[in-house]
Amino acid sequence: MEIVLASASPRRQELLKNAGITFSVRPANLEERRRADETPRAFAERMAREKAQAVRESVPDGCILAADTVVVVDDQVLGKPRDQEDAMRMLRLLSGRTHEVITGVCVRSKSFEDVRSEITCVHFSPLSEAEIRDYIATGEPMDKAGAYAIQGIASRWISRIEGDYFNVVGLPVAMVWRMLRKLGAI
């Protein structure tokens, strides 16, 4: 069964390739907006489901894999920063604190849908204003939920995680593998 990743994320693509999963890419371009009464986990799961639905018509007989990752601190959902000021705001919020990274995943075929999420706690060291400015100047945080990449420069500030490392990168690979096996796609 063909597996189609409904994401343009190079990190998700790399994680799947490294796990030996063969797939094609058809990004779903949706506006991501959290509803007023929606928990961060429900938001991530809903966005994954909506991304899978958006690609469904172009993949009538295959398996669609969609995901959405959010960073949560004080019940605030931090998506990708709009600009450098927004990235500074996010990094200040994360500095010296623990936050959650939630990835909602949807695996869908013509007659099957499985939606789950993974939560990982990430402990950030305190950051100085200079460290935040210098990090933003690298450009790395600009297309990442929460304005950081655990696998990149920001790794120097991650003192500990509780849960799945790959979830923080953008895709909980072991959970995705189990979901794809349940569907019979692999």
First-to-final CA distance of the chain: 8
User: Which tokens in the block code for residue 101?
Assistant: 């990274």
- HSE at residue 114, side-chain half, CA atoms within 13 A, is 15
d(CA 136, CA 186): 40
Q: Which of 68, 86, 114, 134 is catalytic?
A: 68
d(CA 31, CA 68): 12
Can 68 be counted among the known catalytic residues? yes
C-alpha distance from residue 110 to each of 1, 60, 105 (Å): 12, 7, 17
Q: Which residues are tagged catalytic? A: 68
